[in-house]
């Protein structure tokens, strides 16, 4: 069974204080690893897709990296508007289209001004 564990559960940062969120996973063949941002009561907003170990992607203050066992979401000089829950999810390589995402429980990030 695919499993995703995110840490920490909650993280409080001061504006400008860089940090990293961790996502550890076990999956029977990784098709893709996904990062989403979710604001309260809203749908997950897509951030990044990573497919193979060593891959990195960046968007504004966010950078996602992938190894064979975990992924990191690095946040550089965060702003209060970066406050949200960040979800990591994996999709297994089962050979068909339309396969599920298995999510971690998320990291709730709060950035104080």
Partner 1 sequence: AAGVIQSPRHLIKEKRETATLKCYPIPRHDTVYWYQQGPGQDPQFLISFYEKMQSDKGSIPDRFSAQQFSDYHSELNMSSLELGDSALYFCASSLAWLTDTQYFGPGTRLTVL
For residue 106, state whether it binds partner 1 (rule: CB under 8 A).
Answer: yes
For residue 96, state whether it binds partner 1 (rule: CB under 8 A).
Answer: yes
Is the Cβ of residue 31 or residue 79 nearer to partner 1 in the bound state?
31
Q: Return d(Cα 55, Cα 110) in angstroms, integer.
A: 27
Is the Cβ of residue 69 or residue 100 nearer to partner 1 in the bound state?
100
Count, residues in the chain: 113
Q: Return d(Cα 35, Cα 86) in angstroms, integer.
A: 7
Q: Return d(Cα 49, Cα 98) in angstroms, integer.
A: 16
For residue 32, state whether it binds partner 1 (rule: CB under 8 A).
Answer: yes
Stretch that binds partner 1, among 17-25, 44-52, 60-68, 71-79 (CB under 8 A): 44-52
Contacting residues for 1 by C-beta, under 8 A, at least 6 apart: none
For residue 99, state whether it binds partner 1 (rule: CB under 8 A).
Answer: yes
CA angle 89, 81, 20 (to 5 degrees): 45
Q: Which residues bind to partner 1, rule: CB under 8 A? A: 31-32, 34, 36, 41-46, 49, 87, 91, 94, 96-106
């Amino acid at each position: 069974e695919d499993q995703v564990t995110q840490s920490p559960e909650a993280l409080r940062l001061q504006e400008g204080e860089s940090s990293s969120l961790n996502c550890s996973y076990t999956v029977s063949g990784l098709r893709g690893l996904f990062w989403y941002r979710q604001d309260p009561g809203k749908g997950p907003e897509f951030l990044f897709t990573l497919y193979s170990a060593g891959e990195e992607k960046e968007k504004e203050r966010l950078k996602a990296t992938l190894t064979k066992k975990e992924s990191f979401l690095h946040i550089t000089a965060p702003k209060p508007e970066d406050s949200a829950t960040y979800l990591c999810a994996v999709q297994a390589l089962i050979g068909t289209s339309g396969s599920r995402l298995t999510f971690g429980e998320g990291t709730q990030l709060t950035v104080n001004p």
